[in-house]
């Protein structure tokens, strides 16, 4: 697997216990997402179009945090 260069989202909380997301876009055609509190845990991989659709659904309120943790 390629080496991803993760960057913490500017929308993530910085306090202990808050949700923190890191995103890597340095690998062509792939967006990688992980929980910054667990960097050795699972990484979600999205194709460019999948990421845009997912991001739009979150921004539009179609996906809420509660539905992501179920």
Distance CA 57, CA 2 (A): 27
Average pLDDT (20-47) is: 91
Q: Identify the band that residue 70 occupies on the pLDDT scale cut at 50, 70 and 90.
A: very low
| Pairwise CA distance, residues 12 & 19, whole Å | 6
Q: What is the pLDDT of residue 46?
A: 96
pTM > 0.95: no
- Look at residue 15 and tell me whether its pLDDT is greater than 80: no
Can you spell out the DSSP letters for the chain?
A: -PPP--EE-TTS--STTS--EEEE--STTEEEEEETT-TTS--EEEEHHHHHHHHHHHHTTSS-HHHHH-
Does residue 4 register a pLDDT over 70?
Answer: yes
């Amino acid at each position: 697997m390629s080496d991803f260069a993760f960057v913490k989202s500017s929308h993530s909380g910085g306090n202990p216990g808050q949700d923190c997301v890191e995103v890597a876009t340095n690998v062509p055609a792939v967006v990688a997402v992980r929980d910054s509190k667990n960097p050795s845990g699972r990484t979600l991989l999205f194709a460019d179009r999948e990421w845009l659709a997912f991001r739009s659904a979150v921004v539009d309120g179609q996906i809420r945090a509660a539905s992501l943790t179920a």
